[in-house]
Chain A
Amino acid sequence: QKEVEQNSGPLSVPEGAIASLNCTYSDRGSQSFFWYRQYSGKSPELIMFIYSNGDKEDGRFTAQLNKASQYVSLLIRDSQPSDSATYLCAVNSGGYNKLIFGAGTRLAVHP
Protein backbone atom coordinates (compact mmCIF):
# COMPACT_ATOMS: atom_id res chain seq x y z
CA GLN A 1 0.00 0.00 0.00
CA LYS A 2 1.34 3.37 -0.97
CA GLU A 3 1.96 5.50 2.11
CA VAL A 4 3.22 8.87 3.10
CA GLU A 5 4.51 9.23 6.64
CA GLN A 6 4.90 12.37 8.67
CA ASN A 7 5.58 13.02 12.32
CA SER A 8 2.35 14.39 13.73
CA GLY A 9 4.13 16.79 16.07
CA PRO A 10 3.59 19.28 17.41
CA LEU A 11 6.91 20.68 16.34
CA SER A 12 7.58 23.70 18.47
CA VAL A 13 10.17 26.26 17.38
CA PRO A 14 10.96 29.78 18.59
CA GLU A 15 10.28 32.73 16.37
CA GLY A 16 13.15 33.34 13.98
CA ALA A 17 14.39 29.77 14.04
CA ILE A 18 14.45 27.23 11.21
CA ALA A 19 11.61 24.73 11.21
CA SER A 20 12.38 21.40 9.57
CA LEU A 21 9.51 19.19 8.47
CA ASN A 22 10.11 15.71 7.15
CA CYS A 23 8.18 13.21 5.10
CA THR A 24 8.90 9.72 3.82
CA TYR A 25 7.05 7.84 1.12
CA SER A 26 6.85 4.22 0.11
CA ASP A 27 6.19 4.30 -3.63
CA ARG A 28 9.47 4.50 -5.54
CA GLY A 29 7.55 5.36 -8.69
CA SER A 30 6.36 8.67 -7.29
CA GLN A 31 7.23 11.59 -9.51
CA SER A 32 6.06 14.79 -7.85
CA PHE A 33 6.02 15.94 -4.26
CA PHE A 34 4.04 18.70 -2.68
CA TRP A 35 3.87 20.66 0.54
CA TYR A 36 0.59 22.18 1.63
CA ARG A 37 -0.14 24.37 4.63
CA GLN A 38 -3.46 24.11 6.40
CA TYR A 39 -4.61 26.52 9.04
CA SER A 40 -7.19 25.29 11.50
CA GLY A 41 -10.64 25.35 9.93
CA LYS A 42 -9.32 26.25 6.50
CA SER A 43 -8.53 24.31 3.35
CA PRO A 44 -4.98 23.36 2.32
CA GLU A 45 -2.85 25.91 0.52
CA LEU A 46 -0.07 24.84 -1.84
CA ILE A 47 3.33 26.08 -0.68
CA MET A 48 5.74 24.30 -2.97
CA PHE A 49 6.23 21.35 -5.23
CA ILE A 50 9.39 19.58 -6.27
CA TYR A 51 10.16 16.75 -8.66
CA SER A 52 13.94 16.79 -9.06
CA ASN A 53 16.47 15.59 -6.51
CA GLY A 54 18.04 18.40 -4.55
CA ASP A 55 16.80 21.67 -3.16
CA LYS A 56 14.22 24.12 -4.37
CA GLU A 57 13.94 27.50 -2.71
CA ASP A 58 11.06 29.94 -2.66
CA GLY A 59 11.40 32.84 -0.27
CA ARG A 60 11.68 31.51 3.28
CA PHE A 61 10.79 27.99 2.15
CA THR A 62 13.13 25.31 0.85
CA ALA A 63 11.95 21.90 -0.28
CA GLN A 64 14.47 19.08 -0.38
CA LEU A 65 14.02 15.83 -2.24
CA ASN A 66 16.04 12.64 -2.03
CA LYS A 67 14.48 9.95 -4.18
CA ALA A 68 17.08 7.33 -3.31
CA SER A 69 16.18 7.63 0.36
CA GLN A 70 12.52 8.31 -0.39
CA TYR A 71 12.19 11.40 1.70
CA VAL A 72 11.19 14.96 1.14
CA SER A 73 11.55 17.80 3.59
CA LEU A 74 10.47 21.39 4.01
CA LEU A 75 12.61 24.00 5.72
CA ILE A 76 11.08 27.23 6.90
CA ARG A 77 13.63 29.91 7.68
CA ASP A 78 12.99 32.82 10.03
CA SER A 79 9.85 31.12 11.33
CA GLN A 80 7.00 33.43 12.28
CA PRO A 81 4.01 32.84 14.54
CA SER A 82 1.88 33.10 11.39
CA ASP A 83 3.60 29.94 10.13
CA SER A 84 1.87 27.99 12.88
CA ALA A 85 -0.29 25.50 11.01
CA THR A 86 -0.43 21.88 9.92
CA TYR A 87 1.88 21.05 7.04
CA LEU A 88 0.78 18.29 4.71
CA CYS A 89 3.16 16.33 2.54
CA ALA A 90 1.63 14.87 -0.61
CA VAL A 91 2.97 12.53 -3.25
CA ASN A 92 1.49 11.85 -6.65
CA SER A 93 0.18 8.38 -7.05
CA GLY A 94 1.54 7.66 -10.48
CA GLY A 95 0.02 8.90 -13.72
CA TYR A 96 -0.15 12.36 -12.19
CA ASN A 97 -3.56 11.51 -10.86
CA LYS A 98 -4.58 11.54 -7.24
CA LEU A 99 -2.28 12.63 -4.45
CA ILE A 100 -1.48 10.56 -1.41
CA PHE A 101 -1.38 12.79 1.65
CA GLY A 102 0.44 12.33 4.89
CA ALA A 103 -1.44 12.96 8.10
CA GLY A 104 0.36 16.26 8.55
CA THR A 105 2.80 17.79 11.01
CA ARG A 106 1.54 20.49 13.32
CA LEU A 107 3.99 23.35 13.63
CA ALA A 108 3.83 25.82 16.50
CA VAL A 109 6.04 28.90 16.33
CA HIS A 110 6.19 30.69 19.66
CA PRO A 111 7.26 34.31 20.15
Chain B
Amino acid sequence: GAVVSQHPSWVICKSGTSVKIECRSLDFQATTMFWYRQFPKQSLMLMATSNEGSKATYEQGVEKDKFLINHASLTLSTLTVTSAHPEDSSFYICSARVTSGAYEQYFGPGTRLTVT
Protein backbone atom coordinates (compact mmCIF):
# COMPACT_ATOMS: atom_id res chain seq x y z
CA GLY B 1 0.00 0.00 0.00
CA ALA B 2 0.83 3.72 0.17
CA VAL B 3 1.85 4.17 -3.43
CA VAL B 4 2.37 7.60 -4.92
CA SER B 5 2.85 8.18 -8.63
CA GLN B 6 4.18 11.14 -10.56
CA HIS B 7 3.86 12.05 -14.17
CA PRO B 8 5.88 12.66 -16.20
CA SER B 9 9.02 11.00 -14.88
CA TRP B 10 11.15 13.31 -16.96
CA VAL B 11 10.49 16.29 -19.17
CA ILE B 12 12.52 18.62 -21.34
CA CYS B 13 11.07 22.00 -22.16
CA LYS B 14 12.21 25.24 -23.71
CA SER B 15 12.89 28.34 -21.72
CA GLY B 16 9.76 30.43 -21.26
CA THR B 17 7.28 27.59 -21.50
CA SER B 18 5.25 26.03 -18.69
CA VAL B 19 5.33 22.47 -17.43
CA LYS B 20 2.74 20.65 -15.34
CA ILE B 21 3.65 17.77 -13.05
CA GLU B 22 1.01 15.48 -11.58
CA CYS B 23 1.20 13.69 -8.25
CA ARG B 24 -1.32 10.99 -7.39
CA SER B 25 -1.87 8.87 -4.31
CA LEU B 26 -2.97 5.55 -5.79
CA ASP B 27 -4.28 3.58 -2.84
CA PHE B 28 -5.08 6.13 -0.18
CA GLN B 29 -6.59 9.55 0.11
CA ALA B 30 -4.27 12.40 0.91
CA THR B 31 -5.65 15.68 2.16
CA THR B 32 -2.11 16.98 2.29
CA MET B 33 0.65 16.61 -0.25
CA PHE B 34 4.05 18.20 -0.38
CA TRP B 35 6.29 19.35 -3.20
CA TYR B 36 10.06 19.18 -2.90
CA ARG B 37 12.94 20.09 -5.14
CA GLN B 38 16.36 18.52 -5.07
CA PHE B 39 19.46 19.68 -6.89
CA PRO B 40 22.30 17.20 -7.55
CA LYS B 41 24.11 16.11 -4.40
CA GLN B 42 21.99 18.43 -2.27
CA SER B 43 19.31 17.92 0.33
CA LEU B 44 15.60 17.84 -0.23
CA MET B 45 14.11 21.30 -0.19
CA LEU B 46 10.46 21.68 0.69
CA MET B 47 8.78 24.06 -1.73
CA ALA B 48 5.17 24.02 -0.60
CA THR B 49 2.44 22.22 1.24
CA SER B 50 -0.63 21.40 -0.82
CA ASN B 51 -3.96 21.05 0.96
CA GLU B 52 -7.00 19.63 -0.76
CA GLY B 53 -9.56 22.30 -1.46
CA SER B 54 -7.48 25.22 -0.24
CA LYS B 55 -4.52 27.34 -1.23
CA ALA B 56 -1.05 25.93 -0.99
CA THR B 57 1.37 27.14 1.65
CA TYR B 58 4.72 28.10 0.18
CA GLU B 59 8.05 28.04 1.94
CA GLN B 60 10.02 31.22 2.28
CA GLY B 61 11.78 32.15 -0.92
CA VAL B 62 9.56 30.06 -3.22
CA GLU B 63 7.67 32.16 -5.76
CA LYS B 64 4.02 31.18 -5.61
CA ASP B 65 3.28 32.81 -8.98
CA LYS B 66 5.98 30.77 -10.62
CA PHE B 67 5.20 27.44 -9.01
CA LEU B 68 1.44 27.02 -9.20
CA ILE B 69 -0.04 24.27 -7.08
CA ASN B 70 -3.52 22.86 -7.35
CA HIS B 71 -4.92 20.12 -5.11
CA ALA B 72 -8.37 19.62 -6.53
CA SER B 73 -9.07 16.14 -5.20
CA LEU B 74 -8.02 13.84 -2.39
CA THR B 75 -5.74 11.90 -4.70
CA LEU B 76 -4.28 14.49 -7.06
CA SER B 77 -2.03 17.50 -6.71
CA THR B 78 -0.38 19.31 -9.60
CA LEU B 79 2.64 21.57 -9.77
CA THR B 80 2.97 23.89 -12.73
CA VAL B 81 6.30 25.54 -13.34
CA THR B 82 5.47 28.69 -15.29
CA SER B 83 7.84 30.53 -17.60
CA ALA B 84 10.54 27.98 -16.90
CA HIS B 85 14.19 28.97 -17.01
CA PRO B 86 17.33 26.83 -17.06
CA GLU B 87 17.84 27.45 -13.35
CA ASP B 88 14.52 25.68 -12.71
CA SER B 89 16.07 22.46 -13.97
CA SER B 90 15.92 20.09 -11.05
CA PHE B 91 14.44 16.91 -9.61
CA TYR B 92 10.90 17.62 -8.38
CA ILE B 93 9.45 15.16 -5.93
CA CYS B 94 6.01 15.06 -4.37
CA SER B 95 4.89 13.25 -1.28
CA ALA B 96 1.50 12.39 0.15
CA ARG B 97 0.75 12.19 3.82
CA VAL B 98 -1.48 9.56 5.33
CA THR B 99 -4.23 10.86 7.59
CA SER B 100 -3.74 8.68 10.66
CA GLY B 101 -1.12 6.98 12.80
CA ALA B 102 2.28 8.59 12.45
CA TYR B 103 1.10 10.74 9.54
CA GLU B 104 4.00 9.50 7.52
CA GLN B 105 4.74 10.74 4.04
CA TYR B 106 5.22 8.57 1.01
CA PHE B 107 7.15 9.93 -1.91
CA GLY B 108 6.47 9.73 -5.60
CA PRO B 109 9.27 8.63 -7.91
CA GLY B 110 10.10 12.19 -8.89
CA THR B 111 10.13 14.22 -12.09
CA ARG B 112 13.38 15.30 -13.65
CA LEU B 113 12.91 18.66 -15.37
CA THR B 114 15.41 20.02 -17.83
CA VAL B 115 14.87 23.49 -19.24
CA THR B 116 16.86 24.31 -22.36
Q: Contact check: which of B2, B43, B102 meets A51 at CB < 8 Å?
A: B102
Q: Tell me, in angstroms, the Cα distance from A7 to B114 when the chains sit together.
A: 31
B74 close to A (CB within 8 Å): no
| Size bracket, chain A contacts | 20 to 34
Q: Which residues from A are CB-within-8-Å of B104?
A: 32, 34, 46, 49
Q: Contact check: which of A36, A88, A97, A103 meets B32 at CB < 8 Å?
A: A97
Q: Which residues from B are CB-within-8-Å of A97?
A: 32, 49
Q: Are B43 and A92 in contact (CB under 8 A)?
A: no
Q: Which residues of A contact B (CB under 8 A)?
A: 32, 34, 36, 41-46, 49, 51, 88, 92, 96-99, 101-104
| Size bracket, chain B contacts | 10 to 19
Q: Tell me, in angstroms, the Cα distance from A74 to B2 when the chains sit together.
A: 22
Q: Are A43 and B109 in contact (CB under 8 A)?
A: yes
**Interface of A, helix, strand, loop or mixed by DSSP:** loop
Given the known interface contacts A49-B104, A51-B102, the answer about A103 and B34 at a Cβ–Cβ threshold of 8 Å is: no
A–B pairs, 23, beta carbons within 8 Å: A32-B102, A32-B104, A34-B102, A34-B104, A34-B105, A36-B107, A42-B110, A43-B93, A43-B107, A44-B44, A45-B107, A46-B2, A46-B105, A46-B106, A46-B107, A51-B102, A88-B44, A96-B97, A96-B103, A98-B46, A98-B49, A101-B43, A102-B43
Q: Nearest chain-A residue to B104 (Cβ)?
A: A49
Q: Are B43 and A103 in contact (CB under 8 A)?
A: yes
Q: Nearest chain-B residue to A88 (Cβ)?
A: B44
CB proximity of A3 to chain B, nearest CB, Å: 12
Q: Nearest chain-B residue to A51 (Cβ)?
A: B102
Q: Tell me, in angstroms, the Cα distance from A32 to B46 when the chains sit together.
A: 18
**3 nearest A-B residue pairs (beta carbon):** A96-B103, A43-B110, A43-B107
Q: Tell me, in angstroms, the Cα distance from A97 to B34 when the chains sit together.
A: 10
Q: Contact check: which of A36, A45, A46, A98 meets B34 at CB < 8 Å?
A: A98
Q: Nearest chain-B residue to A104 (Cβ)?
A: B43
Q: Nearest chain-A residue to B94 (Cβ)?
A: A43
